[in-house]
Structure 1
Amino acid sequence: MNYTKTAMLLAAMTALFMGIGYLLGGAGGAMIAFIIALGMNLFSYWKSDKMVLRMHNAVEAHEENAPEFFAIVRGLAEAADLPMPAVYLIKNPQPNAFATGRNPENAAVAATTGLLELLEPEEVAGVMAHELAHIQNRDTLIMTMTATIAGAISMIANFGLFFGGNRNNNGIGIIGAILAAIIAPMAAGIVQMAISRTREYAADKRGAEICNHPLWLASALKKIASGVSKVENMDAERNPASAHMFIINPLSGARMDNLFSTHPNTDNRIAALRAMEQDWDQTYDEVDDQHGGESQNAGPWG
């Protein structure tokens, strides 16, 4: 998905938010909804990284307490020509990772201890390259703001249900409020998931380019998906709005590739990465034939 379509989806969420405000409180309700949305977007723009990291009890990593992990991220950031992001560890047995931050200059990547224990260094590099791709593509800002608006839509819909709407100000009354409380969060979730799923495919592709080995990420995704289905992440369960930010959905091992899934089907992602590797191999073979030599498919670690 390109940025135009992503912007359209974000605009649709904002319009939905204001529409619910209008239905529940007329023109005044729409204005209040707009002000709330603006305030929440400004807050998430400046504080999204700290907010998400705090949710998951992340602690900063450095060369002293995580030298190998830190070195992997640093090498990948150099390969991607990105500023070195802040690096965090999450003490959690579930293998997973995410990136956050409003721009490449104010970004962070985080990995669980379960991920570092499960994966080989090359696979960790594939995962971190994927997260750096999110930063480079500025997906972290888009996805965090989307989560914030989705949460606000659910909040205002439930608020309308509690108070029953405002019939005297073009409101919709208790029946409409009940429908809004049910339908609005579902609609917001669909848009949120659509944004998340399409950005994952783009990050997989760019991440493979950064580490120069698509199969590193493919192997990691297979292991992570299996691990996530076996280990419950209680922090993620308490903060489901952040689930779409992880490389694999931390809330379940669901593998359904449909409109209601926060992540693409893992097998589809792996297949795309393997196809990418095959295309590269074919290109390298053609170059070898033309030059009579052997080309090298080397990333930051050879």
Structure 2
Amino acid sequence: MRFFNRLYQDKFALACVILLCMVTIAGIFAEQIAPFDPTLTNIRAKYQPISSLYWLGTDNLGRDIFSRLIFGIRSSVFYAVGAMLLTLLIGALIGMLAGIFGGKLDNLLMRGCDVMLSFPAEVMILALVGILGAGIEHILLAIVLVKWTWYARMIRGIVLQHTHKNYLLFAKTAGASYRHLLFQHILPLMFAELAILATANMGSVMLMISGLSFLGLGVQPPTPEWGNMLADAKNIMLLHPEQMLPAGLAIVLVVIAFNGFGDFLRDYFGRNTESEHDYFTDR
């Protein structure tokens, strides 16, 4: 209840959450919301202006832009969420194993992370996609292979902050298994950090998917995706600049919403951690 009260007080964060909820619902029920098939072409209806029939007009192939925008949520947002969750899961698992076991396993895993982190992530992703070939599945694979190292590093540091606390030392002394320590003690403590990391970096993953699709390396036509919608509109930007607006604004607004919600989570959990620390310190 305190979380929702704080969210209600922060109007910007509340607007971000409402926008993300609306986008999610629209993506799930795209078939019911979109008035046209997003891949249906009609050359006779190309470049139609905004009207009661075409809510955002039509593109160079006569496809309804609003329908493509709604279906594009699945490619632009849902794929980004899936890639982020998989990356976070792998990074969290490796980071927790390194932090709990330590020793040679920790050194081996962290040296592997150091090698991966020595290269710029965007360059590595672009190189992997170039090697593997165009396609959304290759983008998602490249993102997971490159990004997990950063999360593993972060989560290992978080685990090390808690491993020497009294209750964990007592649990180890009492003979608790590593599985018990991991799932009963470490993971609940890390929930806040994992939520903050996921929401704060969702925007960058979204931009990576849309950017590669814009370059022709991501989602392939005719599947609607906001990045390739921008690529199509770029070719006729001087004649029909309004074609750039729907997909461009959608990307900007959703990225801002993820970043805004991530900032709220960071402030909320940060304040809670500080207040709990002060509570126990005063006693």
How would you bin the TM-score normalised by the shorter chain? 0.3 to 0.5
Q: TM-score, normalised on structure 2?
A: 0.39
Larger % of helix: which? 2
Greater C-alpha Rg? 2
Q: TM-score, normalised on structure 1?
A: 0.37
